[in-house]
Amino acid sequence: MNILHVVGARPNFMKVAPVMAALDSREACSQRLVHTGQHYDANMSDVFFQQLGLPQPDVSLGVGSGSHAVQTAQIMMRFEEVVEEQRPGLVLVYGDVNSTVAAALVCAKLLIPVGHVEAGLRSYDRTMPEEINRLMTDQTADLLFTPSPDGDANLLREGIAPDAIHHVGNVMIDTLVRLLPQAQLPHIDGLATRYALVTLHRPSNVDDEAMLRRLMTTLQEVSQELQVVFPIHPRTRARLQAFDLAVVDEERFLLLEPLGYLEFLALQRQATLVITDSGGVQEESTYLRVPCLTARENTERPITVDVGTNVLVGQDMERLRAEVDHILAGTFKTGEIPRLWDGRAGERIADVIETWQG
């Protein structure tokens, strides 16, 4: 079977790697990797290919930045040509980014089977573009690979046929398990032994000047108790500059350039706590058993709250401070690793594909 994998944004790189590795050992599968170019910053694209051991893309669409509509349309137009030429037996899409839904829609129109890796996740917040991408992708997919039981339940509730749903576990944890032994702390001048690791990039947090000011004020307060380390997304850095927000104490509050996956993973493993609005970081911190405070009102990964180390603090900065105090006092929950987050999700996906008759 000829399989096309479609990636384009940072989280997808970690998700595609274990699936491609698992399918490599299956004789009946040939694979090609399509990189849409949705993330066009070299620090957030090329470095991940190197560290994850992914092959260079067989096809690069080179789409780059743009509004959601423009980016999605460009991917659809360019990917359609690839599909028409190669006529794959299956297209695998990952996560919930614009590349995911664009590829799925193209395949639906051309009657090409689609497998969605990380299917069924729901935040129930349709103001988030990712939620729309998830819903539309799942409704067009033929194979739905879920990371957690809530994904299965969501899909069944939405009318997806039970035999299309496969609970396989979390592919991003596959990558974490494989690469964790290689993750070494990067040299960072002034890095303390104990620190809070921060990632923020969601529009609700960084595009609203008042909210970003509240976040930065709270983080600077936290930094007086615990050093804050903030590898800053280009989007967030641009907003800090536009809003004229500066760090007061640069020894207690370190602003870093974006890091490679291994470097970030090493920082996360050693962190006293994590403050984030990233879905992937919620999952990684749960596996690493690191306390995680998520600056969102909802999450499409509720298992990280129900089972893992994640707490939703929303935009309540008093709650954020209170939870930091709980962590520093040793009274925060410990959490557990969810079932099937064991480093073998990619193998389970390959097993399904090997026996599937499209």
Residue 8 CA to its chain's centroid (Å): 12
CA 175, 34, 21, 12: dihedral to nearest 10 degrees? 10
The encoded tokens of residue 145 equal 């690979």
Nearest to 34 by CA among 11, 14, 13: 13
List, in order, residues 6 or more apart from 192 with CB less than 8 Å away.
227
Is 35 designated active site?
Answer: no
The encoded tokens of residue 13 equal 């790189």
Contact 78, 63 (CB under 8 A): yes
Contact 5, 23 (CB under 8 A): no
- In angstroms, the CA 1 to CA 143 distance is 15
Residue 80 CA to its chain's centroid (Å): 25
The single residue of 5, 187, 201, 233 carrying the catalytic annotation is 201
Tell me the residue type at 249: D
β-pairing, 227-231 with 143-146?
A: unpaired
First-to-last C-alpha distance (Å) of the chain? 10
Q: Catalytic residue numbers?
A: 201
